[in-house]
């Protein structure tokens, strides 16, 4: 019964967020960067072979059509080739100077700036939304945990840990603040959350390693709309002393939403049962380290060996999010045995490019118990919440925490949309709020349809 429920849940995810599979290549307006003479990219065959080997057809198609999209990017090169160069730079770990073997380094930097930095807020919101929604839901996590987790940890649905990336920040006033005791080199630390199936769900802002430990960084994060009251997060021992401060900033959660190793009390020893608990949990929690290893294997830039020279933090954070999204996409396609259709492979063809003349929008544009008894009590609480969740219908499930809010907000603009017309959602920016508070809303949440009508006319849908 449970496997069928799991299958149904993932099919619902794909029906909502994987509509890009049925999209064909968008018709593109060449725009202000159009040149009558297209220049070839040197060694573009090498670029395509490398990207295909690392990702496969569907993740590359997703990136080109959904993430890279039909925006205006500088350079007299085919639009598809520009997107492939962005991917190659991310996956290979090449510096901007090293990308000069394909196109002039100044041209590649202009492309890099236009993609990552020109509209960094919009790109960041897209990547955040894709990570959180495309590969996981609360109900799917609970069901998979019940089937696959070790006996004492059937309630654990997520893991959070710090990921250290070797990097040198060119604009740092004090390079010593970036020293990582884990890497024995300078670097950035980022809190990464994965679900029980190894899918990356969200990341924190990146920060210098020396002065930012895992517990402090997590206690500064807003987990609303990311961790639901029916989720349970597995943490390592480094977070134990920070649970109180984590809960203080996230009032929708309680101590039963977190599980971690049992700490030895002063002048006391752990019992054999407690030692066994820690051993099993440590082995179980190592799943997140395996995901970090996969990330490094996919993207040389994040393998812990390459030293990234970082001139802007926004660009670094967006690259890490994009790498995690591509890893999720590759794993989901493999686990779900999603077969590529002919149009998903077109980008491999020689001289292939987006057809021209008019733009089209994609769906995206569009204080803690330390005993076994306390652990068992917390587990019983979260399992009861999870049983209540599983008794809900599909329409009742949501990753978004509903909190008391004013009756109305004023919409400043519609940024993007997703889903088929009868279930379409719109990404709105609220007046007086920055892009971090952008939210997906259905048509019935609007006071009228004038803004929706104007938005749909502007994008031709």
Q: Are residues 63 and 191 in the same domain?
A: no
Nearest partner of 238 among 214, 262, 203, judged by Cα: 214
Q: How confident is the model at residue 363 (pLDDT cuts 50, 70, 90)?
A: very low
Q: How confident is the model at residue 57 (pLDDT cuts 50, 70, 90)?
A: very high
Q: Are residues 113 and 208 in the same domain?
A: no
What pLDDT, in 10s, does the model give residues 429-455?
A: 877 777 767 888 888 777 778 888 888
Domain for residue 283, yes or no? yes
Q: Which contacts of 152-156 are long-range, i.e. CB under 8 A and separated by 24 or more positions?
A: 152/277, 152/280, 152/281, 152/375, 152/379, 153/234, 153/259, 153/280, 153/281, 153/284, 154/383, 155/232, 155/259, 155/379, 155/382, 155/383, 155/386, 156/196, 156/232, 156/233, 156/234, 156/259, 156/284
Alpha-carbon distance of 259 to 449, in angstroms, equals: 46
Domain for residue 289, yes or no? yes
pLDDT at 399: 42
Q: Are residues 161 and 285 in the same domain?
A: yes
CATH number of the domain at 259, please: 3.30.420
Q: What is the number of other CB atoms lying within 10 angstroms of the CB of residue 114?
A: 18
Domain for residue 164, yes or no? yes
Q: How confident is the model at residue 366 (pLDDT cuts 50, 70, 90)?
A: very low
Torsions phi, psi of 408, nearest 5? -140, 145
Q: Are residues 177 and 234 in the same domain?
A: yes
The DSSP code for 386 is: H
Nearest partner of 259 among 284, 289, 276, judged by Cα: 284
- Count structural domains, the chain: 3
pLDDT at 137: 93
Domain for residue 218, yes or no? yes
Q: How confident is the model at residue 325 (pLDDT cuts 50, 70, 90)?
A: very high
Q: Are residues 63 and 150 in the same domain?
A: no
Residues of the domain holding 453: 411-459
Alpha-helical runs (H) found in 336-412: 372-390
The DSSP code for 258 is: E
Q: What is the number of other CB atoms lying within 10 angstroms of the CB of residue 234?
A: 25
- Yes or no: say if 305 and 38 are a contact pair by the CB < 8 Å rule: no
Summarize the confidence of residues 35-64 as an average pLDDT: 93
Torsions phi, psi of 64, nearest 5? -65, -40
- Yes or no: say if 48 and 84 are a contact pair by the CB < 8 Å rule: yes
Q: Are residues 157 and 8 in the same domain?
A: no
- Yes or no: say if 141 and 217 are a contact pair by the CB < 8 Å rule: no
% the chain with pLDDT above 90: 51
Choose the weakest-confidence range: 10-24, 154-168, 170-184, 211-225: 170-184
Choose the weakest-confidence range: 112-121, 144-153, 316-325, 358-367: 358-367
Domain for residue 271, yes or no? no
Domain for residue 367, yes or no? no
Q: Is the pLDDT of residue 46 over 80?
A: yes
Alpha-carbon distance of 113 to 87, in angstroms, equals: 14
Q: Are residues 108 and 21 in the same domain?
A: yes
Domain for residue 330, yes or no? no
Q: Is the pLDDT of residue 422 over 80?
A: no
Q: Are residues 72 and 166 in the same domain?
A: no
CATH number of the domain at 421, please: 2.40.50.40
**Prediction pTM value:** 0.79
Alpha-carbon distance of 197 to 194, in angstroms, equals: 8
Q: Are residues 294 and 150 in the same domain?
A: yes
Q: Are residues 117 and 149 in the same domain?
A: no
E strands present in 204-327: 207-208, 233-234, 258-259, 308-310
Domain for residue 179, yes or no? yes
Q: Are residues 161 and 304 in the same domain?
A: yes
Q: Are residues 301 and 173 in the same domain?
A: yes
């Amino acid at each position: 019964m449970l496997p069928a429920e799991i299958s149904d849940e993932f099919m619902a995810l794909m029906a909502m967020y994987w509509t890009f599979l049925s999209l064909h290549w968008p018709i593109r307006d060449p725009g202000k960067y159009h040149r009558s003479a297209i220049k070839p990219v040197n060694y573009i065959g090498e670029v395509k072979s490398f990207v295909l080997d690392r990702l496969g057809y569907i993740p590359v198609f997703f990136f080109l059509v959904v993430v890279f999209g039909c925006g205006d990017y500088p350079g007299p090169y085919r639009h598809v080739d520009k997107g492939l160069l962005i991917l190659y730079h991310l996956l290979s770990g090449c510096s901007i100077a090293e990308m000069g073997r394909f196109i002039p380094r100044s041209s590649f930097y202009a492309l890099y700036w236009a993609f990552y930095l020109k509209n960094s807020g919009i790109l960041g919101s897209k990547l955040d939304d894709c990570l959180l929604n495309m590969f996981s839901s609360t109900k799917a996590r609970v069901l998979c945990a019940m089937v696959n987790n070790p006996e004492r940890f059937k309630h654990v649905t997520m893991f959070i840990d710090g990921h250290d990336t070797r990097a040198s920040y060119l604009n740092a006033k004090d390079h010593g603040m970036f020293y990582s005791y884990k890497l024995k080199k300078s670097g950035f630390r980022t809190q990464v959350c994965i679900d029980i199936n190894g899918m990356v769900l969200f990341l924190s802002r990146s920060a210098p390693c020396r002065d930012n430990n895992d517990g402090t960084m997590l206690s500064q994060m807003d987990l609303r709309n990311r961790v639901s009251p029916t989720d349970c997060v597995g943490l390592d021992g480094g977070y134990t002393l920070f649970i109180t401060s984590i809960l203080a900033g996230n009032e929708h959660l309680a101590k039963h939403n977190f599980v971690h190793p049992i700490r030895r009390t002063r002048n006391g020893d752990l019992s054999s049962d407690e030692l066994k608990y820690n051993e099993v949990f440590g082995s179980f929690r190592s799943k997140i380290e395996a995901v970090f290893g996969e990330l490094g294997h996919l993207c040389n830039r994040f393998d812990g060996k390459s030293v990234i020279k970082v001139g802007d933090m926004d660009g670094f954070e967006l690259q890490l999010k994009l790498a995690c999204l591509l890893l999720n996409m590759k794993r989901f396609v493999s686990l779900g045995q999603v077969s590529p259709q002919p149009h998903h492979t077109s980008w491999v063809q020689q001289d292939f490019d987006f057809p021209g003349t008019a733009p089209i929008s994609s769906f995206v544009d569009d204080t803690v118990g330390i005993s076994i008894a306390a652990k068992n009590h917390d587990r019983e609480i979260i399992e009861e919440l999870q049983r209540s969740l599983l008794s809900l219908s599909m329409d009742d499930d949501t990753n978004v925490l509903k909190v008391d809010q004013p009756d109305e907000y004023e919409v400043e603009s519609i940024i993007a949309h997703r889903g088929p017309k009868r279930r379409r959602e719109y990404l709105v920016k609220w007046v007086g709020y920055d892009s971090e508070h952008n939210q997906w809303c259905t048509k019935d949440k609007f006071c009228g349809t004038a803004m929706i009508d104007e938005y749909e006319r502007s994008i031709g849908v």
